[in-house]
Amino acid sequence: MTRPSADRVPAVLRRAQSAFRGRPRLPVRVTLPRPLRGRGTRIGVIVALLGPGLIAANAGNDAGGIATYSQVGAKYGYSLLWVMVLITFSLALVQMLAARMGVVTGKGLAELIRENYGIRWSAFATLAVLIANFGICISDFVGVGAALGLAGIPVQVSVPIAAAVIWLIIVRGSYRSAERVFIWLTLPFFAYPIAAILAHPDWGQVARSLPPHLQSNSAYILLLVALAGTTITPYMQLYLQSATVERGAREEDLRNEERQAVAGAIFADVIAAFIIIATGATLYRHGIHSIDSAAQAAKALEPFAGRYAEALFGIGLLGASLLACAILPIATSYVVSESLGFEKGLGRSPGEAPVFVGLISAMIVVATIVAVIPGIPVISLLVGVQVVNGLLLPINLFFIWRLSRNRRLMGEHRNKGWLDGLAAVTVAVTSTLSLVLVAVTVLGL
């Protein structure tokens, strides 16, 4: 076995080695861990093997995303399921490139933008992320209140308690403990496939909806664009790359991190498809074509699929909202800290990373206060956030594409060949759809 070079041995260890050099050696008792046994332990090992890819992709299925998927199913049934197939390829590719850059460079996306394109682009991206993520964070705390409101719990009670628990997990825990909690929060998403099965869809018709086809009316095109905008959101890539760096992934972990990113994207979009199927099999079939929120969709399911379907939809909404409420402040703090060069990291104390911890705390506190205000205009808030996100996404995707193909940064792992061409097409198409959505939203169509 080769001895590590002196420059790779931490200073503390070198001092310890010199202090004990020449002293008589004492017998050391080594206690080996017991073999892993039991079903619960095996599940724990599986959870430990999952990571930022699953968390980031599922965080995108937040309250606003679920509302969009529900509206698609209610208005057009299964007709737009083919879009989810295409979006899945795009999301998987983008997430994979973000994970790869995190592993190879050891830096977050915002930090790479600042170092390679200057402080102006970094500042613009930071400001846009701050505005967009703050608005989405408020809407997701509203989603927590709406989900628990289905069980009769007042918003003024549920939201502050949820906020306090999220803050303790993020600020008082370590990265590993927080990551495990986030992964467990993906389990409620399995409620949506069960709700879809309870809705008794026509699976043959579902299969016939998968080949690409278009309708000419403007509402159909708008929802098609909205699907792309709500499925691929900027904070997903920002969180994924920074979290991959923080968990200490190395080049030998590259393939595993890429597989996690792709698997997370597939899982998240399959869940989204089941939401469309559940609402298409019930609301669309019975002529209910307008849904304003995920909670309204849950209530509307009960007459057609039973109270268990409503409960399952609510459980999924709660898990999705809690996960997004945790990830959004973290992603925002990563971006601000990386752009301005401040210390960052989950598990850091306020003294070690004051900006990182302070911004997380401020976002949670302010979002909680706003979310419990009666009559908060959530829909108007989401519309404004959608515009900011729509402007930010093309910039994010462009930088991901350019940086991932940079030979100096990525070396032998740079994006090239047909994969680089596919990435360029993905960036162009997704960015175009996002800008179309911005234009339609601003014009009020």
Domain boundaries, the chain: 52-407+416-443
Q: Going by C-beta distance under 8 Å and a sequence separation of 6 or more, which residues neighbour residue 214?
A: 220, 221
The model's confidence at residue 32, banded by pLDDT at 50, 70 and 90, is very low
The model's confidence at residue 230, banded by pLDDT at 50, 70 and 90, is confident
- Separation CA 426–CA 295 (nearest Å): 32
Please indicate whether residue 254 or residue 22 has the higher confidence score (pLDDT): 254
Q: Region 193-197: what's the mean pLDDT?
A: 89
Give yes or no for a contact between 230 and 63, defined as CB atoms under 8 angstroms apart: no
Please indicate whether residue 348 or residue 24 has the higher confidence score (pLDDT): 348
**Mean of per-residue pLDDT scores for the chain:** 81
Give yes or no for a contact between 217 and 296, defined as CB atoms under 8 angstroms apart: no
Lowest-confidence segment of 50-64, 140-154, 319-333, 357-371 by average pLDDT: 50-64
Q: Region 293-308: what's the mean pLDDT?
A: 74
pLDDT at 26: 39
pLDDT at 277: 93
pLDDT at 22: 43
Q: Which CATH architecture group holds 52-407+416-443? A: Up-down Bundle (1.20)
pLDDT at 380: 60
Q: Which two tokens stand for residue 80?
A: 């737009």
Percent of all residues in the chain with a pLDDT value above 90, rounded to a whole number = 28
CB environment 379-390: b (16+ within 10 A), e (fewer)? eebbeebbbbbb
Q: What is the pLDDT of residues 119-148, one digit of tens each?
A: 888 888 788 788 888 888 888 898 898 888
Torsion of CA 247, 260, 138, 385, to 10 degrees: 120
Q: Which two tokens stand for residue 252?
A: 């030998």
